[in-house]
């Protein structure tokens, strides 16, 4: 039986770093066994079956198991990406090349330089072969995983600025240079196409139907189907749950997610997670009016 309490004392990550998970190397079989051993009814009863607290409990368990079964490391936010990966044997040859160069600098011997030159040519052949294989894999997956292609293409581009300087008005005199100024210019431009609603309450429309859908119930089969349709190449949402994990654990994650959906629909309560979820004021007022 998998325990619900997690106690760990990880080392503090360096400032300005992010956690990178290697999902391709994860042990999803043990991940599923641990998830399957959790008594979700007992865990959800501790939070009075509140949808938001239930989802927080689900994410807590999922995050703890993710750190346990998915290899990860802390990387700097602005660190250079190394797309070409080398094996242990290739890295050993690379270290030999560095040591050969150091020995040549210390001795200035011609024989030491020839040893270094041989290792240098060998490393160059290895890296070129690895780069060709990498680019071939990216090209083969360009249709199924375009994100990998554009990530590699963007890294190789010399121009890093995404949005150039914009004119602030139609006079074309002053330019918006900073990100804040560019955002304000774009916001002002696109807001002109919106329909300006008159002030006052929203008019009430007459009902168009005589019958209403009273009971809505989500089944495990529906949840499993939707989880298996997730694109594992997408990024995590505001809850930091990667779609690759939900897709791999669809058979065991369907039970707690089904309980959360049904609790949310049964109590007509919004399912929000933390402060990361933002709602438009119009939709929030409309939902509150509907619930009343």
Q: Which of 223, 260, 237 is nearest to 52 (CA)?
A: 260
pLDDT exceeds 50 at position 126: yes
Distance CA 231, CA 244 (A): 7
Distance CA 151, CA 145 (A): 11
Average pLDDT over residues 259-275: 68
pLDDT exceeds 60 at position 292: no
Average pLDDT over residues 33-53: 88
Please report which residue ranges of the chain form alpha helices under DSSP H.
28-36, 40-45, 51-69, 88-107, 110-140, 146-156, 179-191, 220-228, 243-248, 250-266, 281-291
pLDDT for the residue numbered 282: 35
pLDDT exceeds 60 at position 15: no
pLDDT for the residue numbered 161: 64
pLDDT exceeds 60 at position 223: yes
Between 203 and 98, residue with greater pLDDT: 98
Residue with tokens 């560019």: 182
CB 42 within 8 A of CB 36: no
pLDDT for the residue numbered 79: 60
Average pLDDT over residues 228-237: 86
DSSP string, 10-39: PPPPPTTEEEEE-GGG--HHHHHHHHHTS-
Distance CA 58, CA 239 (A): 11
pLDDT for the residue numbered 116: 94
Distance CA 101, CA 110 (A): 12
Q: Which of 87, 77, 85, 42 is nearest to 61 (CA)?
A: 42
pLDDT for the residue numbered 277: 44
pLDDT for the residue numbered 25: 87
Q: Which of 6, 36, 49, 24 is nearest to 253 (CA)?
A: 36
Query: pLDDT band at 140, cuts 50/70/90?
Result: very high
pLDDT for the residue numbered 283: 38
Q: Which two tokens stand for residue 211?
A: 């019958």
Q: Which two tokens stand for residue 213?
A: 């859908």
Between 79 and 31, residue with greater pLDDT: 31
CA dihedral 213, 214, 215, 218 (to 10 degrees): 40
Query: By mean pLDDT, which of 75-79, 99-103, 160-164, 275-279 is the weakest?
Result: 275-279
Q: What is the pLDDT of residues 158-184, one digit of tens each?
A: 776 677 788 887 777 788 888 888 888
Pairing of strands 17-21, 72-76: antiparallel
pLDDT exceeds 60 at position 43: yes
pLDDT for the residue numbered 180: 85
pLDDT exceeds 70 at position 192: yes
pLDDT exceeds 60 at position 58: yes
Contacts of residue 261, Cβ cutoff 8 Å, sequence gap at least 6: 218, 223, 271
């Amino acid at each position: 039986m998998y325990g619900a309490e997690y106690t760990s004392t990880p080392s503090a990550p360096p400032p300005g770093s992010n956690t990178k998970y290697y999902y391709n190397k994860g042990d999803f079989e043990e991940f599923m066994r641990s998830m399957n051993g959790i008594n979700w009814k007992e865990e959800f009863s501790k939070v009075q079956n509140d949808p938001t607290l239930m989802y927080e409990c689900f994410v807590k368990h999922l995050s703890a198991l993710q750190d346990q079964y998915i290899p990860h490391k802390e990387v700097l936010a602005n660190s250079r990406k190394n797309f070409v990966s080398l094996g242990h044997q290739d890295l050993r040859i690379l270290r030999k090349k560095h040591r050969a160069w150091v020995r040549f600098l210390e001795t200035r011997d011609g024989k030491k330089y020839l040893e270094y030159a041989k290792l240098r040519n060998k490393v160059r052949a290895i890296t070129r072969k690895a780069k060709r294989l990498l680019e071939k894999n990216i090209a083969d997956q360009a249709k199924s995983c375009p994100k990998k292609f554009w990530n590699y293409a963007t890294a190789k581009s010399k121009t890093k600025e995404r949005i150039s300087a914009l004119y602030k008005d139609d006079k074309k005199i002053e330019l918006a240079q900073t990100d804040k100024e560019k955002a304000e210019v774009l916001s002002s431009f696109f807001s002109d196409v919106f329909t300006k609603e008159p002030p006052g309450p929203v008019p009430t429309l007459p009902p168009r139907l005589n019958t209403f859908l009273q009971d809505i119930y989500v089944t495990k089969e529906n949840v499993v189907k939707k989880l298996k349709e997730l694109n594992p190449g997408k990024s995590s949402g505001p809850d930091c749950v990667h779609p690759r994990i939900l897709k791999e654990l669809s058979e065991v994650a369907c039970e707690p997610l089904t309980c959360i959906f049904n609790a949310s629909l049964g109590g007509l309560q919004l399912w929000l997670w933390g402060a990361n979820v933002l709602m438009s004021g119009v939709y929030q007022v409309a939902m509150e009016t509907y619930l009343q």
